[in-house]
Chains A and B, each alone.
Chain A
Amino acid sequence: MGQPLHPPVSLPAPLSPSPPGTDPRPHSLTHSFISPPRLSPRPLPCDWLRRLHIVRSPPPASGAHPGRTWSGCAGAESPSSGAAPRQGAPPLPPPAPSAPGPAMAARGRGRGQMTFNVEAVGIGKGDALPPPTLQPSPLFPPLEHRAAPLPGGEEGEYMLALKQELRGAMKNLPYFVKPGAPRRDIERYSDKYQLSSPVDSAIDWNPDWRRLPRELKIRVRRLRKGRAAILIPKSKQRVVLDKEEAIKKLESLEKKEEEVTSEEEEEKEEEEEGKEEEEEEYDEEEHEEETDYIMSYFDNGEDFGGDSDDNMDEAVY
């Protein structure tokens, strides 16, 4: 609020003898109107209590009334009617106030007075308190002491090299899940023949499916050559009996690269399809591409200029 840091609270004479007949140090909140303000270890939200009119706020500018603050309130707050939000730290002593010394709102009467003996904290009389903080602390405060140098040595260097290698290696493992390639605006013919990562975001590696929950297995929709896609049934009733025959048939069928489904279901499908499977004895590339052209035919020119000129298949003009 721009005022000097003189914590102002109306000090309703805690040290003067209280009127006879009233217990000067009552222990309950109900006697709060008479007792001197108490410093409790816990800050109580007296502010909002006051605003809700639950606790009576004393009339403004009546500093003569002894004890017209309520107990439990952070002692140092002046009960002014302008219910300004309490600024700064909760009651002294709290751990970690951010400004040196107690930062109390300057309110109403009795500037420069506090409810407790200020000397106890170490602020002597007439000592200049540090200026108030008017803005949040800077994001990169200037370093007073520079950091100590890193320990070098062979061990440090080796671990550094290990760390960087590990990072690089992890990026190339199948465990590094890359987000799918961004969809272009128009579908292009060459998209069909671009080399792509595993079909339908199946995983590249083969975990032990017995140790993983079944729901994590991704069924792959395999596109046969020109035929309609056959949706592998997602039924959970896997016939266990098929397992034995499936295992026998395993060796006779080749495994395609893209498929990751469970072998039983694949075998079931392939059995049904029958003899057409034998056509898949081709060389892999031709089989995959199903075209007469080499792969670089389908480059749509996006990588032009980035590659080195050592692909001698194309004629250089």
Chain B
Amino acid sequence: MTQAEIKLCSLLLHEHFGEIVEKIGTQLLRAGGQALRGIAGGTGLLLDQVKKALCVLIQHNLATFRPRRGGVEYEAQCGRILRILRYPRYIYTAKTLYGDTGELIVEELLLNGQLTMSAVVRKVADRLTETMEDGKTMDYADVSSTFVRLVDTHFVQRCPLVPEGPQSPEVPPPPAPTLLSSDKDMYTVPRLSLVGKGKRRRSCEEEDGEPRAKKQKQEGESSEHFRDQAIVSAVANRMDQTSSEIVRTMLRMSEVTTSSGAPYTQPLSSNEIFRSLPAGYNIVKQVLDQYLALLADDPLEFVGKSGDSGGGMYTVNLHKALVSLATATLESVVEERFGSRCARIFRLLLRKKHLEQKQVEDFAMIPAKEAKEMLYKMLSESFVSLQEIPKTPDHAPSRTFYLYTVNVPAAARMLLHRCYKSVANLMERRQFETKENKRLLEKSQRVEAILASMQATGAEPAQLQEIEEMITAPERQQLETLKRNVNKIDASENQVDETIFVLESFIESTVKRP
């Protein structure tokens, strides 16, 4: 965990859980696994506050514990805390795939960390009922069925269980339960028979298996979904809509058969793909074959041909797709930051792998001085690195080749680190802006509250007008500017998070490769 990551984690914890949780989270991240006393000593907070904060962190799956050396050791999960940035994306995805019900289920789970199925269903049904027209109520069965679908596609998973062991009264229960989770159990749904709708609270529930089985939001499946989305949109940008639909179909078919982290999907025959194309598409088989051949020949190698049986067996090269996505990100960053000539040199180096200074100038057709300056600029920012090739055993500089090259995984890591720093900066700036205008914001909130209450009790327009004028025109303008800035900063954070996702998936795929 780098300093930038720790800083970002502490900002996120502060924003979402308050100062106390932030202090404790940061302490755990910096110092690794610690016991309760150690944390209290390190942060200087009261023991009660530490306990409270740890409960919150564990509830939200941001920290774990395990029994160790006569006590319990707690550890914070940095990666999991950074996921908080992605929550809006998860909710939006659930909305597009499963509608409003799915969206609310995922939102409730994200806000509460872990919940039992019955609690989720009840809350979501109540919320939906509030928004529906009068007289209609949301049936619990609908919500449950959406929930089950979410679990089936692995968006939601079951929390690890406490083992039911025989406990005799003499033996005190262990200080901390050891939670087991088996993959099989992770996605079993308790059989819930909730009778009741909307407001009526009478519900008898029998849950099968572990009573009060808790569910939590699953990270892995959503990232695969996002990755698929990114690949499909990349294909759509590069080629046309039809080819992206074909790739989307292929990915959908391989959702369940592909293990996470596999470098490519299982081979699919062209006949299968033809059968599984969405109903609206009427392309002929030959056209499909042509598209597939085109995709397989593309230098980006998103799709590869692995055999000829069944009309041609095709796979989607996930690893190569991620490499292309990460490289494209790097290229666009270089272009935006340094200009298009630097980008030309960068792309040249990507293509030719290793080049000497002189060759760079020649191939890029850029005058020597500028080329040199650009290369050094990129070198100083670590987009480009130098490789020494000595001619003689002592590395005499006059007799050594110095070649410029782009090391994509290293550059991707550097860029990821910068992304973390940027998000931290954005959050700080947003908090600063909000704090500057705190007085104004509070005043406007009070005025709105007064307005609302007066409207509820029925007031004349003249009075309302008077209240509205409590906020003067320049103040209004200031508020407008503030709102615009905060929105812009928030949107930028979302945008940077998308880049973070692409880079992280790429780095993960390079690490996992056998």
Contact = CB atoms under 8 A, between A and B. Distances in A.
Nearest to B358: A122
A166 interface: yes
A112 to B, nearest CB: 16
A212 B174 CA distance: 11
Given A145-B337, A176-B18, A25 B55 contact: no
Interface string A149-171: 01100011011101110110110
Given A95-B385, A145-B339, A211 B393 contact: no
Interface residues on A, range: 35 or more
B388 A75 contact: no
Contact of A203 (B55, B107, B338, B449): B55
B441 interface: no
Contacts of B226: none
A93 interface: yes
Contacts of A151: 495
B402 interface: yes
Nearest to A94: B386
B interface SS class: helix
A287 B282 CA distance: 74
Given A214-B176, A218-B48, A122 B372 contact: yes
Contacts of A92: 397
A16 interface: no
Contacts of B113: 175
B491 A150 contact: yes
Interface residues on B, range: 35 or more
Nearest to A204: B52
Interface in B80-101: 87-89, 91-92
B169 interface: yes
Contacts of A210: 162, 177
Contact of B397 (A120, A127, A175, A213): A120
A201 B338 CA distance: 53
B440 interface: no
A201 B449 contact: no
A116 B396 contact: yes
A144 B336 CA distance: 10
B291 interface: no
A121 B55 contact: no
B364 to A, nearest CB: 14
Nearest to B85: A163
B471 interface: no
Contacts of A208: 212, 214
B494 A160 contact: yes
24 contacts: A40-B395, A96-B381, A96-B382, A150-B495, A156-B491, A159-B88, A160-B487, A162-B91, A163-B88, A170-B16, A170-B17, A176-B17, A176-B18, A177-B49, A201-B48, A202-B48, A205-B59, A207-B55, A211-B177, A213-B175, A215-B72, A218-B48, A241-B169, A308-B446
The 10 closest A-B pairs by CB, nearest first: A116-B397, A213-B176, A117-B398, A162-B88, A93-B386, A163-B88, A122-B372, A201-B48, A213-B72, A240-B169
Interface of A: 14, 25, 27, 36, 38-41, 75, 92-98, 100-101, 115-117, 120-122, 127, 144-145, 147-148, 150-151, 155-156, 158-160, 162-164, 166-167, 169-170, 173, 175-179, 200-203, 205, 207-208, 210-218, 236-241, 306, 308, 310
Given A97-B376, A175-B56, A208-B214, 16 more contacts: A14-B396, A75-B397, A116-B398, A150-B488, A159-B89, A159-B494, A160-B88, A170-B16, A177-B18, A177-B56, A211-B162, A211-B177, A238-B172, A239-B169, A308-B449, A310-B457
